[in-house]
Copies of this chain bind each other. A is one copy, B any other.
Amino acid sequence: MDFRRELEKRTEQAEQITMRLLPEAEGHAATVMDAMRYSVGAGGKRLRPVMMYAAYELCGGKGNSVEYFMAALEMIHNYSLVHDDLPEMDNDELRRGVPTTHIKYGAGMAVLAGDGLLNYAYETAMKAFVQAKGAEREGCIDALTLLAGKAGIYGMVGGQCLDVEAEEKELSLSQEQLLYVYENKTAALLQAALGCGAALAGTDMAAKNRADLEKAGYDLGIAFQLQDDILDIESTTEELGKPVGSDERNGKKTYVSYLGMEGAKREQARLSEEAAALVRALATDGSERAENAKEFLAELIEQLVNRKK
């Protein structure tokens, strides 16, 4: 497999699906729609929808319900970035090298753009229900339950809560509390990505693989967050597309504070390798499509260890 080309193709596919399913900016509320398109359209790796689709193919999924869920997940990811960047949160002015939504549209409109994206994620997922029948509909219900759970207070919002509290009250988070933040702020949506792919596929293979896929998403999420901590120290503003050293400036504890730089890198590599191994061991129907998706997903996880942004 030419991994780079495969990644490019799959990223482009996720990009197109997401942008196509976002509303066009029109009518009296054009500004909030424009702000939604701006924040999602500013780029990003589209990692979550790419992973969802690979898991879906790996499990032998057919149909197009998955497209609505890919877009929904990417909207949820992006709403969280828009709100996270707000002045009362991380107060970041740049993301992916361009002005954040509140810098471009004002803080009030950024709050609404985030709300609009979160709500539109559910509107978009509901579109999958209308056309799905029988087992596919059960898969939609399963997937939406998982997605909503991982996005909320027992998932991403829960992780952000402790993160924000630590900053506002200048708390020094314990390693256990940090792990809670990483599990929920970052790993939860990656678990949702792989778990929804399996749930929507709805095959016997999917039922067998789902727990391991979610575990791989969990491992990758923690590894991903460790990489963020590492890059915040070792990268450059140009490479990262946002200011480096912000954690340290803000007095934030990270895993590097507890494990040291080398320890953090070792733990990050261990988790990435475990995640890739879990994926390589998954069952497929032996088709080229499923095997190709499996190989891609495993390589993707390995490559993320070496990312620079």
A175 CA to B81 CA in the complex, in Å? 36
CB neighbours (8 Å) of A88 from chain B are 87, 106-108, 111
Q: Which of B107, B120, B157 contacts A115 (CB 8 A)?
A: B157
A271 CA to B159 CA in the complex, in Å? 46
Contact in complex: B164, A108 (CB < 8 Å): yes
Contact in complex: A164, B109 (CB < 8 Å): yes
CB neighbours (8 Å) of A118 from chain B are 115, 118-119
Q: Which of B87, B115, B164, B167 contacts A112 (CB 8 A)?
A: B164
Interface string of A76-100 (1 = CB under 8 A from B): 0001100100111100000000000
Of the listed stretches A5-13, A29-37, A47-55, A189-197, name the one at the interface; the rest are far from the partner chain: A29-37
Q: A28-B162, A31-B161 are in contact. Are A168 and B111 (CB under 8 A)?
A: no
CB neighbours (8 Å) of A149 from chain B are 123
Q: A111-B111, A112-B164, A164-B109 are in contact. Are A177 and B28 (CB under 8 A)?
A: yes
Does A180 make an interface contact (CB < 8 A)?
yes
Contact in complex: B29, A119 (CB < 8 Å): no
A88 CA to B88 CA in the complex, in Å? 10
Does A126 make an interface contact (CB < 8 A)?
yes
Tell me, rounded to whole Å, the shortest Cβ–Cβ distance linking A293 to chain B: 28
Contact in complex: B161, A32 (CB < 8 Å): yes
Contact in complex: A153, B120 (CB < 8 Å): yes
Q: Which of B108, B144, B168 contacts A89 (CB 8 A)?
A: B108
A129 CA to B144 CA in the complex, in Å? 10
Secondary structure of the A contact surface, majority rule:
helix
Does A282 make an interface contact (CB < 8 A)?
no
Tell me, rounded to whole Å, the shortest Cβ–Cβ distance linking A281 to chain B: 31
Contact in complex: B164, A152 (CB < 8 Å): no
Interface string of A156-199 (1 = CB under 8 A from B): 01111110110110000000010010001000000000000000
Q: Which of A32-88 contact B (CB under 8 A)?
A: 32-33, 36, 79-80, 83, 86-88
A24 CA to B238 CA in the complex, in Å? 44
Q: Report, nearest first, the 3 A-B pairs whose CB atoms are least far apart.
A: A29-B158, A88-B107, A32-B161
**Can you show 27 pairs from A to B with CB atoms below 8 A apart?**
A28-B177, A29-B153, A29-B159, A32-B158, A32-B161, A79-B115, A86-B108, A88-B106, A89-B111, A106-B168, A109-B164, A109-B165, A112-B157, A115-B115, A115-B157, A116-B152, A118-B118, A118-B119, A119-B148, A119-B153, A120-B152, A122-B148, A123-B145, A123-B149, A123-B152, A129-B145, A130-B145
Give A contacts to B, CB under 8 Å. Answer: 23, 27-29, 31-33, 36, 79-80, 83, 86-89, 106-109, 111-112, 114-116, 118-120, 122-123, 126, 129-130, 141, 144-145, 148-149, 151-154, 157-162, 164-165, 167-168, 177, 180, 184
